Amino acid sequence: MKQKTLASAMGALMLMGMGGGALAAAPDWSAVPATEVVLFYPGVSPLEWITKGTEHGGARALKKGETCADCHDEEASDMGQKMASGQKIEPAPIPGKAAFIPVKVQASHDGENLYMRFAWKQPAASGAAPLDAKNPVKIAFMLEDGGKVELADQAGCWATCHLDSRTMPGADEAKTKYVKDGSLAGGKFYDLHQWRSGENKGFDGHVAETRVMEGGKALVSAEGKLSGDEWSVVFVRKLAGGEGDVTLVPGNAYNFGFAIHDDSAAGRFHHVSLGYKLGLDTDAHIKAAKQ
């Protein structure tokens, strides 16, 4: 099924939560400020690369406590160009691959649910063979609480990306993203939410010692639609969930990052954000104010 046909068919639907239940009422998005975040193609830049000073000059800044966004927020598109072209840390460049995707991010909450909206223009297709023919587009975001995961405060989701993970050069294709010494019981994990276009489905999982795509209790719904060449995807999740779900408390901020698998991509061949903060009723890169 073509993307546009699929998206039009589901555009008027709000998907039910993992366990069913009433639909949450969406906020008035016209009244919610949007923040533009540039996602860029990361090439082969796992955690081991960004922390190795002989290959990444920013490793010294990380050791001093600076964040990836401190250094690279305004040059994300330029980095994407270098990596997508194969100029830097990409041994297998894909001709025609989009180098970056500007995304407008909006967030709000009603005291019970968090609402996240992502909107972007569909990049031109590369023409490469699809890695995930079932899902032309996937979008996911991750949350982490309190910096319990090493470097989560500075590097965002990069703490889940390792050189030995699948689709990395020479890696085990069965090994997923993971957190070093990850532990749900110890609170050392990322909360993960994903929406897949072809499957028309939202997923509520986590990343600890391995990546698990299901089992969370926070996701209420996920909806995506394509209007012309403009995508919009809305997630609704409870502020409080269960095991593997970060509990969100108004007045606090959380480590936040997201990624888009465009052009039927899979694995590392995605576009990613730097690490940012999502704040509920508090200043942050992305602020979710109560409506």
Mean pLDDT of the chain: 92
Let me know: does 281 contact 289? Beta carbons within 8 Å: yes
Three-class DSSP category at 80:
helix
Q: What is the pTM of this model?
A: 0.91
Task: Mark 82-109 as b/e (b = at least 16 C-beta within 10 Å).
Answer: bbbeeeebbeeebeebbbbbebbbbbbb
Asked whether residue 25 is assigned to any structural domain, the reply reads no
- Write the pLDDT tens digit of every residue in 161-170: 999 999 999 9
Q: Which domain holds residue 105?
A: 3-18+34-118+130-290
Asked whether residue 124 is assigned to any structural domain, the reply reads no
CA-to-CA dists, residue 25 to 7, 104, 110, 115, 237, angstroms: 21, 21, 9, 10, 12
Asked whether residue 29 is assigned to any structural domain, the reply reads no
Q: Confidence class of residue 6 from pLDDT cuts 50, 70 and 90?
A: very low
User: How many folded domains does the chain comprise?
Assistant: 1
Asked whether residue 68 is assigned to any structural domain, the reply reads yes
Q: Confidence class of residue 200 from pLDDT cuts 50, 70 and 90?
A: confident
CATH code (residue 278): 2.60.40
Q: Confidence class of residue 130 from pLDDT cuts 50, 70 and 90?
A: very high
